[in-house]
Structure 1
Amino acid sequence: MVDRTELRTDLADESAQVDALVTALPPGDWARPTPAPGWTVAHQIAHLAWTDHVALLAATDPGAFVATVTSAPDPARLVDAGAEEFLAPPAELLARWRAGRAALADALAAVPTGEQLPWYGTRMSAASMTTARLMETWAHGEDVADALGVTRAPTARLRHVVHLGFRTLGHGFAAHGHAVPTASVRVEVTAPGGGVWAHGPADAADRVTGPALDLCLLVTQRRHRADLDLVATGPVADAWLDVAQAFAGPPGPGRGPAGAPTGAARPGTTGPGAARRGVAA
């Protein structure tokens, strides 16, 4: 049984860590480019604020949430437009994000167990929505950290990203137009504090092993598999590392190998800018 209170606490802590990266930034540093082409540090925080806003609508007013999708002038630019809409001077943007994520936490706490919330191309429980928000907050926090030249120490909160990455294995194949494999995959990754986080049957022939941080970077498309210390055994596990994505929606080009041009696509992937940024949209 998922502990929803623990999930919300971990989301709050993850948000606070990203908040700490930007709270004392000089105004000029908010304009620094991040690894997502065309997005500055301000865009990254504006995106988190916008996504919290639409998640709040999904939790409190599903009809209004659906209207934001059906009324979008250009669905392919929904995410980019949302970030642009929420851009503001740093102090105002930071206050908006803080208020929005607090409101969302309260709303998710009030969602009855078992209720499914509308989302982009799917429906999600409150626990899944909280996990997705944590995954996205961490991933966009990585973009901000990269822009600022900061290396963040991985935390035990990554277990949620690992879990979501494993749960979305089939979606990664489907999103790329491939048949969803029937073979089971075993994931065994080394947790930041030691120990192993494991998912899937222990006797599965297909396996993925390596550091938990590396798997999280892969499933959020923050690094190319060639730059990560992940080992795939078996054809399904190997194929998964080329299509993995923990976010809903169409696939993005992902990040190219180190040294490749910024935004370089992985072989065989396509997708709009929204997915390119690895968002849970």
Structure 2
Amino acid sequence: MKSIVSDLLAEQAQVDAVLDGLPESVWNSPSANCEWTIKQELQHVAAFDYAAVRMIGGGFTCVNGVSDVEFGHDAIYTPTAFGHLTGAETMTWWREQRSRLAVTFLDTDPKARIPWAPGLPMSAKSLASARLMELWAHSVDIYDALGLDPVVKDRIVSTLFLSWQARPNAYRINGLELPDTPLYLSVTLPSGELWNRGEPDAANRISGTARDWALVAVRRRNWMDTDLEVVGDEARRFAGIVQTFAGEASSVAPPKNPR
């Protein structure tokens, strides 16, 4: 747990450095998500950092229960109670929530079961990975809006882990059965180290950089617009539906370079 929390703190500091001091006009400009402003991206992250602390504390059976009762949300989970905050105020609020979250994770048994989404409980350790993944996913929207390259460090392994761990759910939410077809995922971390899952001799294979696969897994890029090598019908299908986060199946932009 300490390692994941350390990674989470590092990612938070990275995003903080990008956002700190932005003028209000930029905070209120559209993010690459298009449905949210940059400020709303961070408010969503902060609200669900808060919700994670409440879920660990008990009393709720689903994270949506926290949002329904304590801060409200619209159809796309914009936390409605905080719309009046300025960008600077949003930063202060996020800093408070993320600090509480880190302390809570460190005080929690990593194996404790947290009932996050309906039918998808997870360990506290996996929830910490999920908070890191969600922060990185929304930071990609912010980086894209600001014309910056997404920052990818070796701590992206939390997102890679969830891309594989959540594979059964990705098929389920798309109305598909998880096949028995062997699959191998092998990507290169920024450090040059390989991160692998699956069966090395599988005919269906996905390989490339951790950056490309992570962008695909959080539904921010179409795999056909990356340099990933995706071999085999089942590998192509998985690359098209992979999703690291809970909820309904999320769409991704049509490929600019179909292949």
Pick from 46, 49, 53: which aligns with 1:49? 46
**What pairs with 1:46-125 in structure 2 (closer than 5 Å)?**
46-63=43-60, 67-68=65-66, 77=75, 79-80=77-78, 82=79, 84-87=80-83, 88-121=85-118, 122-125=120-123
* Match in the other structure for 2:26: 29
Amino acid at match of 1:107: T
Count residues in correspondence.
254
Q: In the TM superposition, what is the alpha-carbon distance from 1:66 to its structure 2 partner?
A: 6.5
Superimposed CA distance per residue, residues 90-129 of structure 1 (whole angstroms, 9 cap, x where no aligned partner): 2211111011011011111222242101112211111100
Superimposed CA distance per residue, residues 127-162 of structure 1 (whole angstroms, 9 cap, x where no aligned partner): 100100111111111111111111244211112211
**What pairs with 1:1-281 in structure 2 (closer than 5 Å)?**
4-63=1-60, 67-68=65-66, 77=75, 79-80=77-78, 82=79, 84-87=80-83, 88-121=85-118, 122-258=120-256
TM-score (norm 1): 0.84
Q: Name the CA distance, whole Å, in 1 between partners of 2:167 and 2:65.
A: 30
Q: In the TM superposition, what is the alpha-carbon distance from 1:258 to its structure 2 partner?
A: 4.5
Residues 51 and 67, structure 2, Cα contact 8 Å, conserved in 1:
no
Q: In the TM superposition, what is the alpha-carbon distance from 1:201 to its structure 2 partner?
A: 2.1
Q: Name the CA distance, whole Å, in 2 between partners of 1:116 and 1:77.
A: 27
Identity among equivalent positions (%) equals 30
Superimposed CA distance per residue, residues 37-66 of structure 1 (whole angstroms, 9 cap, x where no aligned partner): 221110111011111011111111333856
Amino acid at match of 1:86: F
Q: In the TM superposition, what is the alpha-carbon distance from 1:232 to its structure 2 partner?
A: 1.6
Amino acid at match of 1:217: L
Aligned structure 1 segments of 4 or more residues deviating by more than 6 angstroms = none
Superimposed CA distance per residue, residues 247-273 of structure 1 (whole angstroms, 9 cap, x where no aligned partner): 1111112233349xxxxxxxxxxxxxx
In angstroms, what is the RMSD of aligned CA positions? 2.2
Which gives a bigger RCO, structure 1 or 2 (Cα 8 Å, sep 6+)? 1
Amino acid at match of 1:176: N
Structure 1: 5+ residue runs without aligned partners? Answer: 260-281
> Is the partner of 2:13 in helix, strand or coil?
helix
Amino acid at match of 1:120: A
